Structure 1
Amino acid sequence: MRDQCSFIFSEELLKYKFNAHHPFNQSRLQLTVDLLHKLNALAPEQIIQPKMASVEELALIHDQSYIRAVKQAGEGTLPKDRAENYGLGTEDTPIFPNMHEASSFLVGGTLTAVDQVMTGKALHALHLGGGLHHGFRGKASGFCIYNDSSVAIKYLQEKYHARVLYVDTDAHHGDGVQWSFYDDPSVCTLSIHETGRYLFPGTGNINERGQGPGYGYSFNIPVDAYTEDESWLEVYSQSLKEVAAFFKPDVILTQNGADAHYYDPLTHLSATMKIYREIPRLAHEIAHQYCHGKWIAVGGGGYDIWRVVPRAWALIWLEMTENTIGHGRLPDEWISDWQKLSPFPLPPEWDDPDDLYTPIPRKTEITEKNRLTLEKALYPIRS
C-alpha cells in the first residue's frame, strides 16, 4: 500500500512576485504542477489548499515590529529609510503590493503541510511554495521575506513537541534557519551548499556548529565550485545517513532548492538531474527509518525555471507517492504547451544527456577537497 501524501497548492502562492524581471519566479510552481497533471500523477483529492499564517504564527519566529513593517511596505506606507533597516526595498527583496499577505500564504502552506503529517492525515506532505530559508527574525534577505521553515520548526516544537531534522540541499546556505535554532539541541540542521567564497550569503562554514546547548547540532558542508554529481552525492548520502543516526529525529523537514544544477544562472555547481533523483529517495528512506515516515518537504531556490525546476520538483512528488513514471521522455503535451514561452529549448527527457557540459579539469582535486570538508564537518559524530 502506498504512503498517503498531500500536495499543498493554490493560485494564491503565485502572488509572491517581486517584479517581472526578478529571478525568483513562481511560474515554476505552475510548470511543475502542470507537468504532474500531464503525467496523471497528481489527483484532485491529494491537493490541499494552504492557509494564510496568522500574525501569531509568524511571531513564533519574526519580531512583531518587522511583521508590521512588512504590512506597511505592502500598503505603500513604509518610509524608505525604515524599509532599508528591515531589508525591504532592496534589489533582492523589492517591495510589492500586499507582500505581507502573499508571504503569509507561503508560511501557511508549510504549516498546512506540518498539520497534514503530524495529525496523521498524510505520511508525507510537499509544499513547493515554501523553502524561503534566508529570512531572519527581523529582516528580509535573499528573496525571502518570512522564513516559513523556521516558523514551521517552531510550530512543530510547540504544537507537537517534535525533534526536527532540517535538511537543506539548496546551493545557498540555509542561514536563516540555522541561526533561528543555533542554540537549540532539539533541532538539528544539515546544510549542503556551494562554498560561500563565491556565493551568497557567504556563511555555512564547517566551524558553524551551534552554540551553548545547541553546540554540535548544526552541520554545514560547503562543497567546492564546479562540484559534479558523484562528489555531491557522496557528501549528501554520507552526511544525511550519519547525522540522522546521530540525532534520531521525530520528523524530517527537507528544503529542496533546485539551484545546484549546471544550468542554474546564479550558482557555480555542476550537478545534473541525477542528484534530484537521489535527494528525495534518500530523504524518504531516512524518514521511514527514523520518523515512522513523517516527512515534510518544501521548495526553495531554483532559477532555471524551465529546464530544471519542474523536473527536479516533480521527482520529489513521484518519490513520495512511489510513482515510477519519471523516466524516459517528458510528456509531449507539456513540452509543446510551454515551449512557446520558454527562452530555451525544453529538455525532451527526465534525465540530462551525458555530454551536458565540457568535462571539469579539476574533478579529482574538487572531489578530494569535498571529502576532506565532509570529514571535518562530521568529525564530532565520527570521533
Structure 2
Amino acid sequence: MGPIFIGSEIYRGSSYGLGHPLRVPRVSTVMDLCGAMGWLAGRYVNSPRAKPAALHLWHEPDYIAALQAAEATGVATAAMQARFHLGTHSNPVFEAMFRRPATGAGGVMLAAEMLRDGGVIYVPGGGTHHGLPGQANGFCYLNDVVLGMKVLRLNGVRRIAYVDIDAHHCDGVEAGFAGDPDALLISVHEEKRWPFTGALTDDGGSNCFNLPVPRGFNDTEMRAVLEQFIIPRVAAFRPDAVVLQCGSDALEEDPLARLSLSNNAHVAVVRALRGLSPRFLVLGGGGYNPWSVGRCWSRVWAELSGADVPDRLPSTAEAILRNLSWLGAGRAPAEAMFTTLKDAPREGSLRPEVSERIKFLEART
C-alpha cells in the first residue's frame, strides 16, 4: 500500500470563531495545495466521522454526550463548562464542535486500522494531543492521538513510538500512555509554555522523555536533538509503529510560540523516522499562521509521497497562498510565503543548555 492522505471537507466549512487562533484555514489549505500540485491523485481517502461508541475507547460517555448536546443546542451550560471545560475561550461552542473533532478522530482511527499490515498514512487533521478523557483541553475536544494508538493496539500492533515536535507539550497523550512499557513517548516542546507540563525531569513513567527547549530553538539545535537523541532512542526501542505529531507551531512565524524552526526541520524529522518502523502514521497538530502551516504540512506530504517540490510553485498553487487572509498577520507575509514551499534554513548556534538537556536524556535508561 502506497502512502495515503486522509482529509475532509469539514475543515473548509467550520471554524472555532473569529476570535480564536484556530479560525485560520489549515487542513483545507494543505488539501488545496497538494491537489494543485497533483500530489493527491489515487492517494486521497475521505475521513469518516467517529461514532460516540468508538470514542468511548478512551473518552468518558458523559463527556461525549455533553459535547454532542452543546453542538446540538449551541449552548454549553454552566455545569458543562465547570465539569467538561466546554464553552471556554480555548474550547468554545461552535457549529461543528462535535462533528469536526469526531471527523479528525475518525480519520486517525481509520488510519490505525489501515496500518495493520504496514504502510504510511498522513492525517493532517489529526494531532489533537491535549484532549483528556472527560474534558476539552487546549483547543482539543478529543484526543485522536490516544484513540489512534489504542486502535493500533486492537489491531495487534504492540510497540508504539510516539514523537511530538509541537511547540506545546503533549499532556493528553502522556496521560493516556505514560508508564506503558510498550509505548515510547518523546516530546520536544518550548519551555515555560502552556500547558506548563513536560519538565525535563518528568519521566511520566517508563519510556517517557520530555525535552523542553528554549526560545529561539533553531534548525541546528533540532538536528542535534534528532541525530543524538530521537533517532537512537526510537531505533533502540524497535517499534512496530511510529506515530509522529508534526505540529507546525514551532516554526518561526507562528504567533503562539517563540521557537525559530524552518519547515526543513520538520521534513528532516519525517525523513529520519520513516525507516524505523514498518508502520508510520503522521499527524498534524498546532500551527496558527495559515501560510506557514499550509506550506509545512504540504511539504510533509511531498516527503511521504515521494513528490518533487519545485523551487517555484506553479501559478495555481501560488494563487492559493496569495488568496489566504488572516487578521492576525500584523504585516504582510514575506514574498517567499507565496512562491515556494521551502523555507530558507534557520541555522544557528547549538546552545549549551540544549546540549546539556540532550545529554541528560541520553543518560537515562
TM, length-normalised to structure 1 = 0.87
Q: CA deviation at 1:98?
A: 4.0
Between the aligned partners of 1:140 and 1:16, the Cα distance in structure 2 is: 18
User: What residue is the counterpart of 1:332 in the other structure?
Assistant: 315
- Return the offset for 1:369: 0.5
Does the 8 Å contact 1:14/1:26 carry over to 2? no
**Relative to structure 1, is the Cα distance of residues 16 and 206 closer, same or farther in structure 2, using a 3 angstrom cutoff?**
farther
2:201 alignment partner in structure 1: 207
- Matched letter for residue 36 of structure 1: C
Ranges in structure 2 where 5+ consecutive residues have no aligned partner: 327-331
The CA distance in 1 between the partners of 2:228 and 2:53, in whole Å, is: 38
Match of 1:271 in 2: 261
Point out where structure 1 has 5 or more consecutive residues left out of the alignment.
Answer: none
Aligned equivalents of 1:81 and 1:38: distance in 2?
46
Counterpart of 1:131, as a letter, is G
Write the letter of the residue equivalent to 2:254.
D
Match of 1:175 in 2: 171
Q: Size of the alignment, in residue pairs?
A: 356
Residue of structure 2 in register with 1:315 after alignment: 299
Q: Is the 8 A contact 1:75 1:98 kept in 2?
A: no
1:301 aligns with 2:259: no
Structure 1 distance, partners of 2:14, 2:177, is 26
2:250 aligns with: 260
Relative distance call for 1:337 and 1:149 in structure 2 (3 A) is: closer
Q: 1:38 to 1:334 in 2, by over 3 A?
A: same
Q: Which residue of 1 aligns with 2:329?
A: none
Q: Does 1:351 align with 2:342?
A: yes
Partner of 2:217: 227
What's the CA shift string for 1:101-152, capped at 9, x where partnerless?
A: 22211100101111222145xx101010100000011111111000000111
Q: CA–CA distance in 1 between the matches of 2:45 and 2:187?
A: 28
**Deviation per CA, 1:260-282, whole angstroms, max 9, x where unpaired?**
11110110011112212212111
**1:262-321: CA deviations, max 9, x gaps?**
1101100111122122121112132xxxx22x1011100111112x11221112211111
How many Å apart are 1:231 and its aligned residue? 0.7
- Measured in 1, the distance between the counterparts of 2:237 and 2:318 equals 43
Q: Is 1:371 aligned with 2:319?
A: no
SS in 2 for 1:227: coil
Which of the numbers 189, 196, 201 marks the counterpart of 2:185?
Answer: 189
> In the TM superposition, what is the alpha-carbon distance from 1:55 to its structure 2 partner?
1.9
Pick closer, same or farther for the CA change 1:16–1:164 going to 2, 3 Å.
farther
Matches of 2:108 and 2:14 in 1, distance apart?
A: 15
Distance in 2, matches of 1:257 and 1:87, equals 23
Q: In the TM superposition, what are the counterparts of 1:89-100 in structure 2 within 5 Å?
A: 89-100=87-98
Q: Which residue of 2 aligns with 1:140?
A: 136
Question: In the alignment, what sits opposite 1:243?
Answer: 233
Q: Provide the C-alpha distance between the structure 2 equivalents of 1:137 and 1:304, rounded to a whole number of angstroms.
A: 29
246 and 119 in structure 1: CA distance in 2 versus 1, 3 angstrom threshold: closer
| Alpha-carbon contact 2:113-2:151 (below 8 Å) kept | no
Deviates most, 153-162 or 267-276: 153-162
Is the 8 Å Cα contact of residues 29 and 320 (structure 2) preserved in structure 1? Answer: no
Identity of aligned residues (%): 29
The Cα RMSD (Å) is 2.0
